[in-house]
Structure 1
Amino acid sequence: MPGPIGTSPSRRWALVCTAMAASSRRRGVCPSEKPWSRCLSLHRMYVTLFTFTLLCLHWSRCSSDDDHEMEEFLKREFSLSKPYQGVGSLGSSHWELMGDAMITTEQVRLTSDMQSRQGAVWSRTPCDLKDWEMQVHFKIHGQGKKNLNGDGLAVWFTKDRMQKGPVFGNKDNFTGLGVFVDTYPNEEKHLEAQKKRYTPRTERIFPYVLAMVGNGSVSYDHERDGRPTELGGCTAMVRNLKHDTFLFIRYVSRRLTVMIDIEGQHEWRDCLDVPGVRLPLGYYFGASALTGDLTDIHDIISMKLYQITVLSKKSQDEEDEDEITIPSVDNFELLRVPESEERMSSVAIFFTVLFSMVGCVFLIVVGLLVYGHWSETRRKRFY
């Protein structure tokens, strides 16, 4: 016969209460004290407390993330993982290789540890999911020492695919979302050449993760490591680690969240969280990497896309369901004009107006002189 540990919770409580009653009788406790009733009351109190705790936890979970409850489903047609069957083969896979990228048994190698390499892997199918989550398992390693390696890798959700270019192996002036793992501090080296330094408030430690939304007319600023168009970012020491490193990108209810797991503790760390991000449907997922004079190995182990189903308390009528055609970010001006250019434009406008006024006055004076000379000549003709 099984003991109390193998019995149900109700059976265990009955055994405990029976033991309490027997102990009370042995001590000569008066039956009117009803130890069994007191035990049952204690049982009810614990059950009530346990139920209340469960309700609080459930309410907290449902109330998190702006009163949204989310369910996620793996979408295999947009996911890349071992054993990479058919990847790169025409028509036999959902993913396609570009440039110097190659397939091994353990990873998709975007670049080897050699100069002037760029490679990418792109999804063949456009994604029409409104809310999604991408988890990227990657590895960056090489022989280069600190700040003598480069250039980094990027994860994309863009309108165009399979386009070589200078932005971590993809084209500049892209349309969509780019999340960059930048391993070389171009701006810092440029400042050092000018014998300048960051201010403590603006200093960034590399490797650095940042996000950018492009609308097709915004260029990525290499010299400043994307600072003018950066939505947010964080430091991420991801090179030459012995444990796995992960990048988490979530786009739900027009909110972009990026987190990282690089400490080997299987815990996500916040990197950036930006509301009001508007991304159209039908874009392509991809990953790319680039090396220049400095090198690194950039590997993608897996890219897993999850469809997010949002169970919101808000009615659909209250949400803004306008179709998004151009990527944008609320309260963030993508087409920024540098301050120096703005000042030059104001000066140019001032001098243009000034010279126009002087020119008008000059023409009026010349006109009056010509008219006076003509009138004088005409008057002399009658004498």
Structure 2
Amino acid sequence: MKLSAKKAVFYLTSVLFLYSLASCREKQTDPKVAIEKNYSLYILGKDAKEYILECNTLDSGIAYPEKAGVLLNGQEFDRDLIVSHGYYYKLNRKRAAFVKYKTAGPEMEEVASAALENFSIDNYYWLNQDTVLLIGPNTTDFSQVKYVIVKTDDMKVLTVGGLAIPAPSGKYTSVSTGFVELKNKQLFIGYTYHQRLTSYDYTTSDTTYLALFNYPQMTKVRIDKDIRSTYPGGTNMVQPYSFNDEKGNYYFMSCPGIALGNRADRPTGIFRINAGEDALDKDYFFNISGSVINNHAYGIWYLGGNQAIIRTERKDLFKGLSDHYSTAHFEFYLLDLPSGKVLKKLELPLDKGTRRACIIVKGDIAYIAVNSTKEGNYIWLYDIKTGLLKKGLQLTGDTDFILRIDALK
């Protein structure tokens, strides 16, 4: 039977539309016909429900987490995850275990676990595809920085040890690490100290510390200090704060704003360790707060070609920490890193959610998850070459926030 040209176009359009709707449906539970997805989304739903939703594409379509996702309520899960090659890694604090999961139909299935006592994960670094280095403080008093190396294919702990980072002293009561990076058999760790004022309030020292260790011996080489900003990085299980460019220069952002360091008097800035060097570039400091942005920022994503996107707050739109998460007040800016110039503000709706892993860069496209009060929850596509923006996948139904997006492959 022949189709008219008009009917043929209608038929093709209908097929493509149905495919986009199916792109975020559940994994096939029959292992013989298992379908691997390309992306994972962590969704905070209404009434505090939480979901993990796996998708084939972020470019288009509509997804309902309550229909196609894994409901996480009742499981020891939250957004501080490590997502890699189709698996999810999470520190279960009640069990004192580092647990490996995968999605299995409508639920998360535990694959294996490794006992981790008296340890909290601040940051991770993949030594290779199946070996991860975890860095964080002890949980007795958060005064000592520890490291753990885990072989993730069978979840075996290879090494546990302490790092020679001085314990907090004077008015400071805890230490937190903000990034970890391995270069030329040397381990760089950024950290700072905090003072707990009340159960819900704290402040941070005015100094960024950079510790250098030999690897794999974990012997300390030296500790450098820099007072141009404080709180280097943050918990990269929640949001990224650092990267290497094509030449091997390492950039990291400081986060002294109220949502992390609570030292809003200090500027948010970007530091650099030049390729082949083992110390901060004293001639480089991209002062975000001192630029036309005139605000604090949380999270940075490298696009390639010396450009990056940061997520900045609008301090005129929120009252304080009480509504910092729920009020749409975040904007996205494009930066030129070598020159220290702000290139433009991306024409996206105001975003909400204090800290999120909300950008994936694939080729010439940056996928940006935006939680808009007015327009809803979308993955936006930013064409890096042309600068054009358009809406992609829509998250609807029970979706309240898109907390993180991750590539599964």
Q: TM-score scaled by structure 2?
A: 0.27
> Rg larger in 1 or in 2?
1
Which structure has the higher relative contact order (CA within 8 Å, separation 6+)? 1
More helix by share: 1
Structure ranking higher in strand proportion = 2
Superposition TM-score, scaled by structure 1 size: 0.28
